[in-house]
Chains A and B, each alone.
Chain A
Amino acid sequence: MVNDKNIKIQSNQKFSAASLGYFVRLPLTQHNLALATLLTKMQGNASESYPDPAMIAARFSELYSFRFEAAPQLFGKELVISYLVDFVEPQEILDPDYNYREIMETFIDLVTNPLLVAKNLELSQRQLRDEYQELVAQPNNQALIDFFNYWYQDQPDYAASFLGPIEEIEAATVQDVRRFFDSLESCPSCLLGQAYDARQVARLANEGLDASGLSLAFPMSDLAIAAPDLRFAKAAEQGNQQAQLFLGYGYKALPNLADLACGTVLREYLTGEQSSRLFAKVREEKGAAYAVESNWYADNSLFLINAGLDPGKVELTEQIIAKEMQMVADGRIDPGLLKQSKQALVNRQLINQDSSAWLLARKIRYALHENYEGFNFAQAVKAVTSKDLANFVKNLYLNESYVLK
């Protein structure tokens, strides 16, 4: 912490590039997501100091392929605007004009001095329209959008899975974006990351970032959204080569830390590796799919299983999944596979520590969830027993089945 601001930079002794993230937290609503998407797109295109995308691109090259990425991220009921920067450590390059001051000034300029003018707004709106068009043209994305729209049909503020409502993005004015940007000043924020000379980077950040939100409490205690009670099946036709199957299981309570570990172990047990239960049954035995995935959205109390399938094998796959879930709930769990799944997660956790992007992503997760402080994920995974896994699955109920053909 620097001067009681939420600035925490660790020393980077391992990677040739430093990585930092400035994060601003606000409630998730459709409106906030649409404007956050639009604002961050505008910030990636231009700033007061670099008023044209070509100038920004040239500046990034001048700073040795400086990487800046601004986008909203969703965590349950909250939306976090993330400004990520990744740059080669100056000590790797013998150029006196390439130093932390130059780098931090550019980063802070991009974050704090957006060019909020009509020309930039319109360009960003056109870009987002194109991105949206490309996104929904991919059947798995369209199916995910449809799935969440049904899942949160009674809480539409939580439904958007990608950019936010494109109509609201297209209708926004410069004044709307300006108002939204000004409101961020007082939203809780933090700067996290790692750089070789952490002290110097923290000092430069402290000098350049003065939002009042940097002194507010960043962690939240009630991020998670309870699963709705839907229990329905929906389908749509698009004429694709593959059918997209999405099975959403709701969790009956708000997940705690032990549930976080259990859901992750279940994901690994069902679809993490080639020997995982669903991978073996759906792909290897039935040849119904190239891959089967599952995800544990703990902040949404949602365990989601999905696959791109041979359209003629959708029902068969649904039956296999239902049977496997029932087997776990009944405690009929392969002990060898469970042990292997837990070990795989622990190993992956170690390997992930070789990625600076993953370390930064973990930092923001821990900073945001009040109860994560001191939580040892690897230990929690190791502690999961067959009984825990069975109890976890007993708390899941098939809430939504969606097929896009």
Chain B
Amino acid sequence: MIRPNIVKKTFPSGFKAQVILKPGFNQRFFGIIVDFGSSDPQPVPGLAHFLEHKLFASQEGDLSLEFEKLGSDVNAFTSFNETMYYASGVKNVGPTIDLLFKLVGEPFFTKENVEQEIPIIQQELAMYQDEPDWVLGDSLLRAVYGDSNLAIDVAGTKESIASVTSGMLLATYEENYVAEKLSFVACGDFSENQVKTIMRQAKTLSETYFKPGKGAKRSKPLPFKAGQDLVLPSQGVPLFALEVSLPNFKKVLASQDLAQILLEIMLESKLGSMSTWFAGMRQKQLLNQPLQISVNTTRQGNYVMILGTSQDAEKVIAELKKQLQADQLFAGREMDGFFDLLKRSWLAQTIRGLDHLPAFSVELAEESLDGEDIFAMTKKIQAMSFADYQAFCLDLWQGCGISTAYLAQGQED
């Protein structure tokens, strides 16, 4: 794998910046990531996401329009513990960076512009709520984590969105948008001089817009209620979900991302389309399509989510619960061979990722907040023995709790 050239700096305020060089690519991508997201403490659920929407407002109007005048696309997203603002285009490097810092660094919240945003975000939530798996995920996470920010949709609830005020937005902004919680990334085909200019610009702008400091205290993991088994009204699709709360989730070889990937490899080996278990379920016609498996890591709690469809969800859930017992995780001889195969897949995905500038930049921006290094991690995985991998996974799995939900068939809401 040919590692791209990356220039990294941390400025005295604690603000971080990096420039990733991708010769031959037309796109220039810029982003500012904030170490604050939807499941972090905030006055009402959905406030981090509301902030993400409303930072586009400025005294002069909607800043998106200014980016568009430069020929740049601009957007943002909110995840559990991060919010990221990004812009991309093919030219106007300096002005685009200026504008991006202004967007993140110069809030303009008024009663009017907040009220104007409420129905837009409510429509965004309504759009998600019309997805058949939304009810399933929402109900299951709320059963396990209560009405916490981790369980509630990133956008909040219809009521919490309606309750947002400009004062709440400003207070939350000031608490969280501080230098040490922010990181800038630029990616593209830049000359050596351009790299220097971008770094100087990032330093000056970060000092102009962001006060030094660490910001709000980090919250601790939430308590969870394991053993929740829900049957929900039909949504027209026989969907099911299984959630595994992981109280013992922690860094492996100094890396949280590595811990996450090892569990993903283990679950894919155990339940994925190559596995004997999945072949058996397919033969019995209990599962036709591969399961969707994700390991979610947040400050408020770490959990696995498994989603699938089955005409007999109850039976599949019972089978999954058996497979996910600690003494069953590594039962079967295939796990060793699959570890080698999936190590190959992981390496290939990392190599492929280098070609996708936006996704790669987001990944590296997230890593800069968390002190991770994808290249070091890739080496560690390739060098890891099966025995070590097994020991790490079993340790991470200790004390886990399983909860489930499925949509009943034929019971209309």
Q: Interface of A with B (CB < 8 Å)? A: 13-17, 52-54, 57-58, 60-62, 64-65, 86, 88, 92-93, 123, 126-127, 130-131, 133-134, 136-139, 240-242, 273-275, 283-284, 287-291, 308-310, 340, 343-344, 347-348, 350-351, 353-356
Contacts and interface: CB of A to CB of B under 8 A. Distances in A.
Nearest to B237: A137
A65 B351 CA distance: 11
18 contacts: A13-B24, A14-B24, A16-B352, A57-B273, A61-B344, A65-B345, A88-B351, A92-B1, A136-B236, A138-B131, A284-B62, A287-B120, A289-B120, A290-B123, A308-B127, A310-B119, A344-B68, A354-B357
Interface string B41-64: 000000000000000000000101
B170 interface: no
A127 B26 contact: no
Nearest to B69: A340
Contacts of B341: 58, 61-62
B124 interface: yes
Nearest to A140: B130
Contacts of B285: 126
Contacts of A274: 62, 64-65, 68, 74
Contacts of B121: 290
Size band of the interface chain B makes with A: 35 or more
Nearest to A126: B288
Interface stretch (B139-147, B197-205, B274-282, B373-381): B274-282
A134 B132 contact: yes
B327 to A, nearest CB: 24
A201 B174 CA distance: 57
Interface in B217-257: 235-238
Contacts of B131: 138
Contacts of B355: 15-17, 354, 356
Contacts of B356: 355
B73 interface: yes
- Ranked nearest first, the 5 interchain pairs of A and B with the lowest CB-CB distance are A287-B119, A65-B348, A274-B64, A64-B348, A241-B126
Contacts of B278: 54
Given A65-B349, A92-B351, A273-B68, A351 B90 contact: yes
B164 to A, nearest CB: 14
Contacts of A123: 282, 288
B88 interface: yes
A139 B348 contact: no
Contact of B279 (A13, A52, A308, A351): A52
B208 interface: no
Nearest to A131: B289
Contacts of B386: none
Given A64-B345, A340-B69, A353 B26 contact: yes
B89 interface: yes
A127 B68 CA distance: 43
Nearest to B132: A137
B2 interface: yes
A356 B355 CA distance: 9
A127 B288 contact: yes
